[in-house]
Amino acid sequence: MQDDPLWRMRHALAGVALALMLSVLTAAMAGAFLGDLVAGTYGARVAFYGALLLYVVVGAGVLFVKLAQHETRPLNLGRVLLWYVSLWLWPALLAGLKGRASSASAKSPGDKPPPPEPKI
C-alpha cells in the first residue's frame, strides 16, 4: 500500500475533497445572493452558481495537480481551511508559482548577486 501514489497523496486528496464540498455550499449561497442582487431571477441565480461552481472545480483540479505531491502533513481543520481558501484564491497562487518558477529559471546556478552600492 505504501507504493500506491494515491495513498501517499491521501492527505491532499481528503483535504481538497472536504474543501471542495465546503466551496460548493459557499458557491450556492453566493450564487443565490448575487443572482437576487443583480437580477432577482432564478436564471440569474443559476448562472452565478454555475460560474462559481466551475471556478472552484477547476481550482480544485489545478491545486491538486500542482500542490498535492508536496502535501504530506496529516489532515486537520487548519489544513482543510487552507485548502478552502486556496480554492477561492487559486489564480493568485498559480500566478505566484509561475513568478517563482520564472525567476528561478532566469538565474543560473553560478550567478552571484551584485555587490551593494557604497553609501556616501
Task: Among 48-57, 84-93, 101-110, name the one with the lowest average pLDDT.
Answer: 101-110
Q: What percent of the chain lies above the pLDDT cut of 90?
A: 41
C-alpha distances out from residue 58 to 43, 79, 88, Å: 22, 20, 10
State the average pLDDT over residues 1-17. Answer: 83
Banded pLDDT at 109 (limits 50, 70, 90): low
DSSP string computed for 13-58: HHHHHHHHHHHHHHHHHHHHHHHHHHT-SHHHHHHHHHHHHHHHHH
Q: 118 in the Ramachandran plot: left (φ > 0), alpha (ψ -120 to 50) or beta?
A: beta
Question: Any idea where the domains of the chain sit in the sequence?
Answer: 5-92
Across 21-44, average pLDDT = 92
Cell of 13: 486528496
Write down the pTM of the prediction: 0.73
**What's at 15, amino acid-wise?**
G
